[in-house]
Structure 1
Amino acid sequence: MNQIEELIEKNTKGKLKDFKFSYTAETREEAIKVFEIACQRLIEIHNWDKFAEKISAKFVLTNKSGFEVLREPKEGDFIRIDIPGPGTKAGDGYDWVQIETILFSDPYEMEEKLFGFKVRPSSNPENSESGTAHFLSDQATSSFIISLKGKTVYSEIHGRNESPNTGASHLIDKVRNLGVAAGAILGVANIQWNLLAKGLLK
């Protein structure tokens, strides 16, 4: 199993989506610079809406306690998502995902390089007993990957096992999640992930 396969789960239930953009540089040196810039953009989670023009959601990296942090993401951190419209009661108005896996390529590997992480819908870190605070169930995952092969840099976002979170403890959240998930699966979120994957390489 290669590193990209480690970050992308098999789709066994629900929807899957794949967004992939590439940029081929004239020289290896230029390609490395583009790769490094794209990686830096990926870890600047609070700036995702700036890198992806017209993206409407806002993203904030938090630590395990739910406090906002401005640093590189770590496994176990959370991402707080502010989606336009009504938020979840369980998430105090936000959707939440947790970073499960972060992968770096071997620094001594000269030809191919990779950086990426996988997230999963989670509970609100400030109230872990509230259940999954996201419009998708906790079976879903999203993987964000930047890779370099030769003189080509790739930006990828993969969604797997996407289905509405109908197990929410609050009825209002169930109704909201069905509506948001339906819109997301039908294309709203797809457009935004497409813009982000493209924006990381600009």
Structure 2
Amino acid sequence: MKPKNIAGVPKHFKGSFHDTESLKEIHHLEDTDFQFNILKQRLLSINNWRKYCPESTTDFQLFDSFGNKIERFPEIGDYIRIDVTGPGGKEGRSFDWVKITMIDKEENAIMMQCRPSPDPGGKKRGKIAHFYSHCATSTFIVSKKKNILKASIHGRNEYPNFKSGIIDSVRNLIIAIGGMIGFSKIQWKCLTDGLVKF
């Protein structure tokens, strides 16, 4: 199986990848725009992602570039703090962090892209605080085509972060291997299903 070639999603060169998608058919065409607006708001309400996938133990919180928790829609340069099951990394104060590097809003689609990053509130601002290396990306897309709504997440170049000290590197390897063999796809499928489940 090869990664899908999607405009705006980086090319895949190394490590694992995934293309996770969920569809919802709107039976009354006149309701499509209304439902799509709900879907867009759900994607951009990062602090509520756990509510759309209550069976997951992973939590997501939006932070600004200074490391302050915020309650608003994301902007380029914001950060997402990820609280995964199991021991957290020392580098990210027991959390994993990604930076929002792109948000593209069009009439029938929104695309948001994130990349592993340092902890914005940490004292050491240089080292990546995530189990994947800085080369990994996650691209979140919600789109509308006729009466079909789609939520999708596309991971590329996912391989372990070995540049965060010995203890964190071992922890990163274990979590990354779990992600590479499919555990992260289960998490992302739970989220995409939840986003389109009205």
Does TM-score exceed 0.5, indicating one fold?
A: yes
- SS at 1:7 equivalent: coil
RMSD: 1.3
Encode CA deviations 1:48-95: one digit per residue, 9 max, x unaligned: 111013111110000001110000100000000111211111101100
TM-score computed with the length of structure 2 as normaliser: 0.93
2:117 corresponds to which residue?
A: 122
- SS at 1:56 equivalent: coil
1:186 corresponds to which residue?
A: 181
Structure 1 residue 176: Cα displacement:
0.4
2:92 corresponds to which residue?
A: 91
2:18 corresponds to which residue?
A: 17
Residues 90-169 of structure 1 correspond to what in structure 2 (within 5 A)?
90-106=91-107, 113-127=108-122, 128-168=124-164
Counterpart amino acid of residue 167 in structure 1? K
Structure 2 CA distance, aligned partners of 1:199 and 1:87? 25
**Number of aligned residue pairs:** 192
1:42 corresponds to which residue?
A: 43
Q: Which runs of 4+ in 1 moved over 6 A?
A: none
Q: How many percent identity over aligned positions? A: 39
Structure 1 residue 29: Cα displacement:
2.2
TM-score computed with the length of structure 1 as normaliser: 0.91
Counterpart amino acid of residue 123 in structure 1? P
- Where structure 1 has 5 or more consecutive residues not aligned to the other structure, the ranges are 107-112
- SS at 1:124 equivalent: coil
1:110 corresponds to which residue?
A: none
Structure 1 CA distance, aligned partners of 2:30 and 2:56? 31
- Where structure 2 has 5 or more consecutive residues not aligned to the other structure, the ranges are none
Q: Tell me, yes or no, if structure 1 residue 32 matches structure 2 residue 21.
A: no
Counterpart amino acid of residue 66 in structure 1? G
Structure 2 CA distance, aligned partners of 1:28 and 1:58? 34
Answer yes or no: is the 8 Å Cα contact 1:7–1:101 preserved in 2: no
Structure 1 CA distance, aligned partners of 2:135 and 2:113? 12
